[in-house]
Each structure stands twice: as C-alpha cells, then as structure tokens.
C-alpha cells in the first residue's frame, strides 16, 4: 500500500516450515514468534531500521494450524520504519 504522502506500507507474517505431510500441507515450527524476531535481528545487522515499535496485538495464545500442528505466540507485533 502507499499512503497519500507516498510512504510505502508492507504488512506480513513469517513462519518456519520444517516439512510437509502426505496431504501437501506444510509443518511449521510451533514458535511462530521466532521468525519475527529473526527478521528484526537481520534488519538490525544491516542497519536497516530507522524506528522500531513493539506492541501487543493480541493476548498470548496457543493454537493449531489447519494441518493440526501446534503453535504459540506472545501476541506481539512490530512496527518497523526502514531507513
């Protein structure tokens, strides 16, 4: 998306796929926050972050994906402004 003043906004999620089952569904690592944290760490390594805000998007929770794999999250999201 592009804001009226021309800023680009990207929204995304990430998970680590550690395999597939016979139905073609992927298996994810249950710690879905780890990929978020790794992305932030990688952006920090290359000095790509101008500002970073962490906020509580939901309560911490446990769940299962459509393949039946368990997952958990702290419910936090990051708002990152890149250089």
β-strands 70-73, 61-64: how paired? Answer: antiparallel
Of 24-33, 49-58, 59-68, which has the strongest mean pLDDT?
49-58
Overall average pLDDT of the 9-34 stretch: 82
Predicted local confidence at residue 23, as pLDDT: 74
Where is pLDDT greater, at 27 or 54? 54
Predicted local confidence at residue 63, as pLDDT: 95
Predicted local confidence at residue 22, as pLDDT: 72
pLDDT, mean over the chain: 90
Q: Has residue 27 got a pLDDT over 90?
A: no
């Amino acid at each position: 998306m592009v804001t009226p003043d021309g800023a680009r906004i990207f929204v995304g999620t990430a998970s680590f796929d550690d395999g597939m089952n016979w139905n073609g569904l992927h298996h994810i690592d249950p710690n879905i926050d780890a990929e978020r944290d790794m992305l932030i760490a990688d952006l920090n390594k290359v000095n790509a972050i101008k500002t970073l805000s962490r906020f509580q998007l939901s309560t911490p929770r446990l769940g299962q994906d459509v393949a039946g794999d368990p997952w958990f999250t702290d419910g936090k999201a990051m708002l990152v402004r890149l250089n």
